[in-house]
Amino acid sequence: MTNSIGEIKDCDYLFVIGSNTTEAHPIISLEMRKAKNRGATLIVADPRKTEIAELADIHIPLKPGANIPLMNVMCNVIIEEGLYDKEFVANRTEGFEELKEAVVNFTPESYAGIIGVPADVIREVARGFAKASSAAIFYTMGITQHTSGTHNVLAVANLSMLTGQIGKPSSGVNPLRGQNNVQGACDMGALPNVYPGYQAVTDSNNKEKFSSTWGLEQSAKVGLTVGEMMDEAHHGNLKALYILGENPMLSDPDISHVQQSLENLEFLVVQDLFLTETAMLADVVLPGASFAEKDGTFSNTERRVQRVRKAIEPLAGKADWEVIAEILTRMGYPHEYCSASDIFDEIAKVTPQYAGISYSRLEQGSLQWPCPTADHPGTVYLHSGKFSRGLGKFTALDFEPPAELPDEEFPFVLNTGRRLYHYHTGTMSRRAKGLSAIYGEESIEINPADACRLSISNGDMVKVSSRRGSINAKADITDRVPQGMVFTSFHFSEVAVNFLTNSARDPIAKIPELKVCAVKVEKAC
Amino acid sequence: MADTVTLTINGQKVTVPAGTMVLEAAQQAGIDIPTFCHDPELSRPGACRICVVEIKGWRNLPPSCVTAVTDGMEVETESDAVVEARRTILELLLANHPEDCMTCQKFGDCRLADYAYRYGIRNTAFIGDKTDFPVDESSAVLYRDMNKCVLCGKCVRVCAEVVGRNVYDFTSRGFSTKVAPALDVGLGEIDESGCVSCGSCVAVCPVGAIVEKNMIGKARPWEVKKVKTTCPYCGCGCGFDLNVKAGKVIGVTSNPDSEVNGRHLCVKGRFGFDFIHSPDRLTSPLIKKDGDFVEVSWEEALRYTTSRLKEIKAQHGGDAMAVLSSARCTNEENYLMNKVARVAFGTNNIDHCARL
């Protein structure tokens, strides 16, 4: 997030796109309610009528993949009506003419159909966003898990820069991160193209810095993303994989392909709390430690670095950091870490954004990066006065339909996401008695009109199939989903929806298109 | 209007911003006034009257939570009249309160008991009927005994004003007044009650009327070690206290100092911790031998793992190896995984589940 969670309540215009905030980020949704109670306008763009969509002043039920059209049309209206922030555009951005040209044909009338609301409503939203004293965009996987994911995010950036709605309190671009430490894992360089602190591996200065810090010549060749790892394993080029606390056998698209890939490895090590679907395929399984059993830090969606404190001894005798450090030593790279705090000190040395953070400071309270020095108070919102790259760059974008759209054989769009009561592949949440008692069985949402046409009653078992596989689940007949769409979560192995999903990826970020694939729905015998 | 106001509380001069309530002025001066219905995060009904004070020149005893300070005001927080009024309120509450403190989950952390102790209420003069509401055990995570409720209404307000669900309200009148979901359905009938089981009502309840079901009978407050930590579920980064007894996590309770969320949590954060002590937890490393997993020592597992990894590196090179790190693990662990890939394996083949 460029803003902080605490700033949301003071925001005047909230534009939420592709985020089921009340279920996936419940505490952030409370802040949105506070803003709404104060009189803020809430716009929600989502194909599904989620709880946050019902709370909205305007719900835009856009067609799957219609994110760029919506934002391009908003830019078109804002430019056409002269509502853009001319001073911001002149002083802080480049490429305005290219944007202007790219959106010229994106008139509200020509795209109202796939955006799902009348042209005048789109105009109203565009005007409201541009004129608000503070407007912020909130998004999650609803816009990123598409083959156009990177461009969807760039479209968000276009809109915020065009209106100068960024780099101010309660005003900015706010991806809500879905996992407790997904922000931190990225910050720490658990990515194939960057070292800790987003320092590109292709940059010779960075390569030199880390070669000297770690005492080993570093490679400038960008590594493989998770989807590419699976492909390379499938081809037999990747031989060994060490997986820590992940369950790609449920979370990744096209599970059959994932399974073949993992089985094709010469050596698979999995470190996890449980014998997960993925761990079952491993050659060695190392027991993991839960968050209650170790010291450390998590970085949340607003870049806030917070302590995780050991409350009980590790059940298997070792915290994960101890196991990893021991593997490093046994591989010939001895370490000198006596505690998690020692590791953090090394992180602070090599990661500019974390340079001013230490465990002793975190005892006084959390800190938001960038925090470059020991006396820096941390950063509440980003891009004040200047963007990281200097001038903000507009990108000309065109409508890119999803890779696999419904056809005669597979007439429905399958959308996937989360439920309030569960998390990711359910390894943790499904073992919580209360959560399982409340939500113990997954179903598939289908619109009443579609259900009626297919003679499906509420609770009937249905078979949902794509080109890659099929699953059975109970039908939940609800108008939360529009006609022509079915929806379920990826939390339940019994309803492993990723057998169906498409592994087609965004060419830049390599994110799979988990939000759109074509399926057919039949009553199961 | 002046920006600040100076008043006297229990003979002590106190200067506070204009508009401050007497209760908060006293708190700033380190003077404790009992409260049931007051909560700084919620609207102020001024209903329970336990916070009454005596103000020189005023005819009655005003509730300090909704009485704004004025210049030169002289306040007494524990005068004879105030204490008598509080004792009467407590006697009235205790007259209709179950006498099962011994087994009450709130024992040791109960405001009603604290104030009864503070004002020495042993017996109540008001003998009469007691309410006999059925206990609501329908929720999978919350236990509600409305016979213990003091009708402060904080659960009603937190659910309406913060959580936005409006699950609770006062039902009936007079002696029969009870806080309940619409049509008095069980809280656990979530389709009707609308409850999302976040437990913010537990976090504000001053007595044992609403408690966490999973903590009942597990520990007394003084046996519990509270360890402040960060939630392992979504990216909000909520803080809470793990409640630990004898090396076991027995529950999660709000920590009001949490920067992101204050006392509020979602159902996963507050009630999603059973996995820690799940019988399914792996406690020993496993090596697959002839297709079956065999339990081995850490020494054997790590020796075997690293020797296989070294063989593959020697035979195929680092780029034939990869690491999938974890968005569930700590920064420190992710940093080390990044070293496993880039130093021990010698490849940039590292990723995690950020795209999923």
Residue ranges, comma separated, of all CATH 2.40.40.20 domains in chain A are 412-523
Hey, of B286, B319, B337, which one would you mutate to test binding to chain A, going by the most A CBs within 10 A of its CB? Answer: B337
- The tens digit of pLDDT for each residue in B215-265 reads 999 999 999 999 999 999 999 999 999 999 999 999 999 999 999 999 999
Which of A110, A128, A129, A127 has the alpha carbon at shortest distance from A119? A110
Give CA angle at A478 (A476, A481), nearest 5°: 105
Hey, of A308, A357, A419, which one would you mutate to test binding to chain B, going by the most B CBs within 10 A of its CB? Answer: A308
Residue A57, classed as helix, strand or coil, is coil
Q: Is B2 on the interface with A (CB under 8 A)?
A: no
pLDDT given for residue B1 in this prediction: 55
pLDDT given for residue B125 in this prediction: 84
Give B249's contacts in chain A (Cβ within 8 Å).
292, 311-312
> Distance (Å) from the C-alpha of residue A88 to the closest C-alpha of chain B?
31
Hey, of B191, B319, B335, which one would you mutate to test binding to chain A, going by the most A CBs within 10 A of its CB? Answer: B335
CATH classification of A412-523, choosing from 3.90.550.10, 3.40.190.170, 2.40.40.20, 3.40.250.10? 2.40.40.20
Round to the nearest angstrom and report the end-to-end CA distance of chain B: 57
Amino acid at B100: D
pLDDT given for residue B2 in this prediction: 67
Q: What is the mean pLDDT of chain B?
A: 96
| Contact assignment for B234 to A179 by CB distance below 8 Å | yes
- The tens digit of pLDDT for each residue in B16-37 reads 999 999 999 999 999 999 999 9
- CATH number 3.40.190.290 given to B4-78: no
Give B315's contacts in chain A (Cβ within 8 Å).
239
Residues A196-212: what's their mean pLDDT?
97
The residue written with tokens 């104060």 in the block is A38
Q: Is B185 on the interface with A (CB under 8 A)?
A: no
> Distance (Å) from the C-alpha of residue A4 to the closest C-alpha of chain B?
9
User: How does strand A240-244 pair with strand B321-324?
Assistant: parallel
| Contact assignment for B302 to A330 by CB distance below 8 Å | yes
- The tens digit of pLDDT for each residue in B278-327 reads 999 999 999 999 999 999 999 999 999 999 999 999 999 999 999 999 99
| Residue A121: count of CB within 10 angstroms of its CB | 16
Residue ranges, comma separated, of all CATH 3.40.50.740 domains in chain A are 182-222+288-368
- The tens digit of pLDDT for each residue in A93-102 reads 999 999 999 9
Q: Where are the domains of chain B?
A: 4-78, 224-279, 286-355
- The tens digit of pLDDT for each residue in B160-204 reads 999 999 999 999 999 999 999 999 999 999 999 999 999 999 999
Q: Measured between alpha carbons, how far is residue A40 from residues A11, A33, A55, A66, A140 in Å?
A: 7, 9, 12, 25, 21
Give A343's contacts in chain B (Cβ within 8 Å).
332, 335-336
Window B:246-305, CB contacts with A under 8 Å: 247-249, 259-261, 264-268, 271-278, 280-288, 293, 298, 301-305
pLDDT exceeds cutoff 70 at A506: yes
Q: What is the mean pLDDT of chain A?
A: 97
Give A432's contacts in chain B (Cβ within 8 Å).
268, 271-275
In the sheet where B248-253 sits, what is the strand order? B225-230, B239-245, B248-253
Give A420's contacts in chain B (Cβ within 8 Å).
196, 266-268
What token pair was written down for A433?
């008695």
- The tens digit of pLDDT for each residue in A71-81 reads 999 999 999 99
pLDDT given for residue B238 in this prediction: 98
Contact of B333 with A324, CB cutoff 8 Å? yes
| Contact assignment for B355 to A511 by CB distance below 8 Å | yes
Give B301's contacts in chain A (Cβ within 8 Å).
284, 286
Q: pLDDT above 90 covers what percent of chain B?
A: 96
| Contact assignment for A191 to B227 by CB distance below 8 Å | no
Interface size A-B, in CB pairs within 8 Å, comes to 445
| Contact assignment for B266 to A244 by CB distance below 8 Å | no
Residues A469-484: what's their mean pLDDT?
97
Q: Which of B303, B309, B323 sits opposite A267 (nearest CB)?
A: B309
What token pair was written down for B2?
């002046």
Hey, of A177, A266, A294, A298, which one would you mutate to test binding to chain B, going by the most B CBs within 10 A of its CB? Answer: A298
Q: pLDDT above 70 covers what percent of chain A?
A: 100
Q: Which of A185, A326, A427 sits opposite B354 (nearest CB)?
A: A185
Q: Which of A27, A287, A365 sits opposite B264 (nearest CB)?
A: A27
* CATH hierarchy code of domain A5-176: 3.40.228.10
Q: Which of B237, B309, B351 sits opposite A240 (nearest CB)?
A: B309
Give B268's contacts in chain A (Cβ within 8 Å).
420-423, 429, 432, 435
| Contact assignment for B348 to A227 by CB distance below 8 Å | no
C-alpha to C-alpha distance for B152 and B33, rounded to whole angstroms = 16
Q: What are the backbone angles phi and psi of residue A299, rounded to the nearest 5°?
A: -115, 120
pLDDT given for residue A240 in this prediction: 98
Which of B341, B349, B330 has the alpha carbon at shortest distance from A226? B349
- The tens digit of pLDDT for each residue in A237-271 reads 999 999 999 999 999 899 999 999 999 999 999 99
* CATH hierarchy code of domain B224-279: 2.20.25.90
| Contact assignment for B274 to A180 by CB distance below 8 Å | no
What token pair was written down for A456?
């499906």
Q: Which residue of B has its CA nearest to A36?
A: B164
Tell which CATH architecture fits domain A182-222+288-368.
Answer: 3-Layer(aba) Sandwich (3.40)
Q: Which residue of A has its CA nearest to B286?
A: A285
Residues B101-125: what's their mean pLDDT?
94
Please name the residue ranges forming H helices in chain B: 22-28, 80-95, 111-118, 154-157, 190-193, 200-204, 267-271, 298-316, 331-339
Residue ranges, comma separated, of all CATH 3.40.228.10 domains in chain A are 5-176
Residues A285-292: what's their mean pLDDT?
98
- The tens digit of pLDDT for each residue in A117-163 reads 999 999 999 999 999 999 999 999 999 999 999 999 999 999 999 99
> Distance (Å) from the C-alpha of residue B208 to the closest C-alpha of chain A?
20
| Contact assignment for A224 to B322 by CB distance below 8 Å | yes
Which of A247, A230, A142 has the alpha carbon at shortest distance from A516? A142
What token pair was written down for A419?
């439920």
Amino acid at A85: D
pLDDT band at residue A177, thresholds of 50, 70 and 90? very high
Q: Which of A55, A244, A292 sits opposite B325 (nearest CB)?
A: A244
Q: Which of A290, A333, A420 sits opposite B344 (nearest CB)?
A: A333
